[in-house]
């Protein structure tokens, strides 16, 4: 996996991702904003911002916000939202977040939402987040988290890579904690939750080729009858869902 592949994949699926019910879910966006305790005076950097929903949500409430992402199509969508909402305190840049194009200590809040599982070099990205955050500022990650059971985790890692070839690896909660510790960021809060995601909508949020589509259907057919997965892949109201662990972590520089 290279960052060029990630860029191309997100350019292909930019609209689908932007319109996915989970990307637009205001309840999730609000909950993450509250978790970070973002204040009206804050100046926020949204790392791997995608189509910019969280950046824009912040810009409407705080002093200033900036989003950065490797996909120029995602940035185009985000810039469309800036015009739609007539905002003058938000900017978007197309750039690889392994090397952020900003000075040291430039932001009071630096966050990254739903993107670490794509990164080929999560350590580098985190170091850059820390560098761009001011002393006493807040650093936070929200992302999917590895399943506790190795077999279950391995099933969903394969599933995720077939759905979206830019999926790299899902970190476990201890790996997220270690990122903070290794970089001398004092952890001030963590929150673990599980969400039920609609499988068909999940497949639709990304672009797959025909071969992968077939493999996904095969996996689902086998998975639904696997007793080891019965708590993680299940029918609800006639539709197929899967359980996805999520992790939120924040700390002070």
Ligand X SMILES: C[S@@+](CC[C@H](N)C(=O)[O-])C[C@H]1O[C@@H](n2cnc3c(N)ncnc32)[C@H](O)[C@@H]1O
Is residue 23 within the footprint of ligand X (CB under 6 A)? yes
Is residue 160 within the footprint of ligand X (CB under 6 A)? no
Is residue 202 within the footprint of ligand X (CB under 6 A)? no
Is residue 113 within the footprint of ligand X (CB under 6 A)? yes
Across 107-127, b (16+ Cβ under 10 Å) vs e yields: bbbbbbbbbbbbbeebeebbb
User: Toward ligand X, which CB reaches closer, 81 or 229?
Assistant: 81
Is residue 3 within the footprint of ligand X (CB under 6 A)? yes
Query: In the range 69-88, which residues lie near ligand X by CB under 6 A?
Result: 69-71, 74
Q: Which of 58, 77, 92, 96 lies at the binding interface for ligand X (CB under 6 A)? A: 96
| Binding segment toward ligand X, per CB under 6 A, in 45-53, 177-185, 196-204, 223-231 | 45-53
3's enclosing H/E stretch is helix 3-12
Q: How far, in Å, are 9, 164, 212, 214, 215 from residue 209 at the CA level?
A: 11, 10, 5, 9, 10
Is residue 97 within the footprint of ligand X (CB under 6 A)? yes
Q: How far, in Å, are 123, 124, 138, 199, 251 from residue 135 at the CA level?
A: 20, 19, 9, 42, 11
Compute the distance between CA of residue 67 and CA of residue 177 in angstroms, rounded to an integer: 24
Output the smallest distance, CB 98 to ligand X, in A. Answer: 5
User: Toward ligand X, which CB reaches closer, 13 or 108?
Assistant: 13
Q: Residue 45: CB partners within 8 Å, gap ≥ 6?
A: 65, 66, 67, 68, 100, 102, 106, 107, 109, 110, 111, 129, 132, 133
Contact of 192 with 148, CB cutoff 8 Å: no
Output the smallest distance, CB 207 to ligand X, in A. Answer: 13
Q: Which of 13, 58, 90, 118 lies at the binding interface for ligand X (CB under 6 A)? A: 118
Q: How far, in Å, are 27, 68, 91, 104, 112 from residue 94 at the CA level?
A: 27, 6, 10, 19, 15
User: Toward ligand X, which CB reaches closer, 97 or 132?
Assistant: 97
User: Toward ligand X, which CB reaches closer, 69 or 207?
Assistant: 69
Is residue 233 within the footprint of ligand X (CB under 6 A)? no
Radius of gyration for the alpha carbons in the chain, expressed in angstroms and rounded? 18
Output the smallest distance, CB 227 to ligand X, in A. Answer: 31
Q: Which pair of tokens denotes residue 153?
A: 């985790």
Identify any residues that bridge with 92 across adjacent strands, giving them in sequence order.
67
User: Toward ligand X, which CB reaches closer, 42 or 69?
Assistant: 69
Output the smallest distance, CB 25 to ligand X, in A. Answer: 10
Identify any residues that bridge with 192 across adjacent strands, giving them in sequence order.
247
| Binding segment toward ligand X, per CB under 6 A, in 46-54, 128-136, 149-157, 189-197 | 46-54
Residue numbers at the binding site for ligand X (CB under 6 A): 3, 6, 10, 23, 48-50, 53-54, 69-71, 74, 96-98, 113-115, 118-119
């Amino acid at each position: 996996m290279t960052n060029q592949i990630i860029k191309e994949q997100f350019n292909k699926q930019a609209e689908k991702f932007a319109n996915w019910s989970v990307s637009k879910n205001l309840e999730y966006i609000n909950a993450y904003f509250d978790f970070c305790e973002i204040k009206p005076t804050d100046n926020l950097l949204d790392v791997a911002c995608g189509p910019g929903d969280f950046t824009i949500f912040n810009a409407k409430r705080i002093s200033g916000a900036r989003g950065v992402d490797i996909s120029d199509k995602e940035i185009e969508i985000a810039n469309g939202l800036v015009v739609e909402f007539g905002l003058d305190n938000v900017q978007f840049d197309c750039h690889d977040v392994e090397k952020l194009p900003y000075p040291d200590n430039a932001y009071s809040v630096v966050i990254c939402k739903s993107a670490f599982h794509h990164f080929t070099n999560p350590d580098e990205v985190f170091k850059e987040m820390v560098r761009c955050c001011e002393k006493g500022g807040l650093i936070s990650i929200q992302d999917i988290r590895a399943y506790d059971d190795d077999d279950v985790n391995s099933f969903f890692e394969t599933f995720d890579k077939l759905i979206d070839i830019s999926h790299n690896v899902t970190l476990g909660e201890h790996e997220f904690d270690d990122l903070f510790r290794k970089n001398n960021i004092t952890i001030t809060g963590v929150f673990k939750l599980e969400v039920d995601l609609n499988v068909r909508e999940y497949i639709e949020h990304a672009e797959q080729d025909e071969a992968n589509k077939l493999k996904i259907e095969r996996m689902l057919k086998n998975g639904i009858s696997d007793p080891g997965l019965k708590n993680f892949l299940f029918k609800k109201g006639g539709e197929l869902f899967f359980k996805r662990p999520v992790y939120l972590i924040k700390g002070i520089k």
